Amino acid sequence: MQPPVPDTPDLNDATVRERTGKTLAQWFEHLDALGGLAKGRRDLVQAIYDGAKIDEWWGVTLVVEYERARGAKEKDGQPKGYSICSTKTIAAPLERVFQAFGTSKDLDRWLGPKTEVSFTDGGTLANADGDRASFTRIRPGKDLRLAWQHATRAPGSQVEVLFADKGKGKTGLTLNHTRIQGRREADELRAGWSAAFERLKAHLEGA
């Protein structure tokens, strides 16, 4: 996929103060006072949102950068990073929607051109847009997991796609892309997956 270039602000003190009312250092002190890393990400984001009424994505940004500044890391030695979610309801049977994630003909229409895919556990996906991934789990009609390996767009991150039969020939999709290390990449991928799902919907509903 070729997502639009995001208008992601630089995460410096001037920009953060303009958007949130405090500098990064001031927010980090505030988060320390709230209980710090022991409090947990969800509670810290909610506390920021409740107290300042700022944009929720900025609340997430402050907590992610706080975790990084305080040295929080997961078992693989990397910070938890950013997570994004894209959803879509498609007027097509679940089996057909699931199939569209595993054939070159379908993927060419919505993810990126010239796709090569081996739709098996341990199989790989690659296209001319530079998207690279390996399938770490495939449960037909239920979910997919992929290790995302794009060279410049969040390499080492993880993708999970959940499928739900919504009845009357409709299928619900939920995609979670996690372990993204930079906000600019997260903004880019959020826009990219949203646009890709719009193309998928148009492809399957127009077929």
Residues 61, 91, single domain; the answer is no
- Give mean pLDDT, residues 183-206: 95
Domain assignment present for residue 184? The answer is: yes
**Measured distance CA(62)–CA(22) in Å, rounded:** 11
Domain, as residue range, for 130? 82-206
- Give mean pLDDT, residues 148-173: 95
Residues 49, 121, single domain; the answer is no
Q: State residue 179's pLDDT score.
A: 96
Among 3-7, 36-40, 150-154, the minimum mean pLDDT is found in: 3-7
- Give mean pLDDT, residues 53-64: 90
Domain assignment present for residue 3? The answer is: no
The beta-carbon contacts of 125-134 under 8 Å, at least 24 apart in sequence, are 129/1, 129/2, 131/1, 133/159
CB 99 within 8 A of CB 204: no
Is a pLDDT exceeding 80 seen at residue 207? Answer: no
Crossing angle of helices 56-69/13-20, nearest 10°?
140
Q: State residue 50's pLDDT score.
A: 81
Residues 89, 60, single domain; the answer is no
Residues 118, 46, single domain; the answer is no
Residues 57, 86, single domain; the answer is no
Q: State residue 171's pLDDT score.
A: 98
Is a pLDDT exceeding 70 seen at residue 40? Answer: yes
Q: Give 98-151 pLDDT, tens digit per residue.
A: 999 999 999 999 999 999 999 999 999 999 999 999 999 999 999 999 999 998
Is a pLDDT exceeding 90 seen at residue 6? Answer: no
Residues 109, 147, single domain; the answer is yes
CATH number of the domain residue 101 falls in: 3.30.530.20
Of 16-25, 51-60, 80-89, give the range with the top mean pLDDT: 80-89
Q: Phi and psi for 72 in degrees, rounded to 5?
A: -70, 130
Query: What is the pLDDT confidence band of residue 172, given thresholds at 50, 70 and 90?
Result: very high
- Give mean pLDDT, residues 80-98: 97
**Measured distance CA(68)–CA(63) in Å, rounded:** 9
Residues 134, 158, single domain; the answer is yes
Residues 60, 93, single domain; the answer is no
State how many domains the chain has: 2
Residues 58, 143, single domain; the answer is no
- Give mean pLDDT, residues 166-189: 95
